[in-house]
Amino acid sequence: FLRARNACLLAGSFAAAGFLPVIDDVVVRRAHLDFYRATLTGVPLHCVVLAPGAAKAMERNLARDKTLTTDWSPLDDALRSELADEKIWIDNADLTVDETVDAVLSATGLTPPPA
């Protein structure tokens, strides 16, 4: 979890400087999320599950220049099983990036500080 630990340290630094940090990571296992919760101290953590579904994830991945896999269904299954009790789930299959950001901000009640 070195990457996650470093992401928490960086998020804490940005929060201390007045920014609204966002950690973007693929978290499908409860242990991974629990690590974030235990490590990110002094900064509120809002877990937002972006869940477009395995078919849409595959479609998006195939449209990229670099693909890691074509079958995301095992990750989608694990995500829906292990993180089912998380409160904020957003089906962003048909949302643009800006619409997804708006949905995340609305669901969390967060407002970025003025630029």
Residue 20's contacts (CB-CB under 8 Å, 6 or more residues apart) are 110, 111, 112, 113
In the chain, the percentage of residues whose pLDDT exceeds 70 is 97
What is the rounded average pLDDT of the residues 39-58?
Answer: 90
> SS3 for 24?
coil
Predicted pLDDT of residue 81: 93
User: 21 is in which domain, residue-wise?
Assistant: 1-45
Both 32 and 1 in one domain: the answer is yes
Please give the model's pTM, rounded to 2 decimal places: 0.82
Both 64 and 33 in one domain: the answer is no
- What are 59-111's pLDDT values in tens digits? 888 888 887 776 778 888 898 999 999 999 999 999 999 999 999 999 999 88
Predicted pLDDT of residue 35: 96
Q: What domain count does the chain have?
A: 2
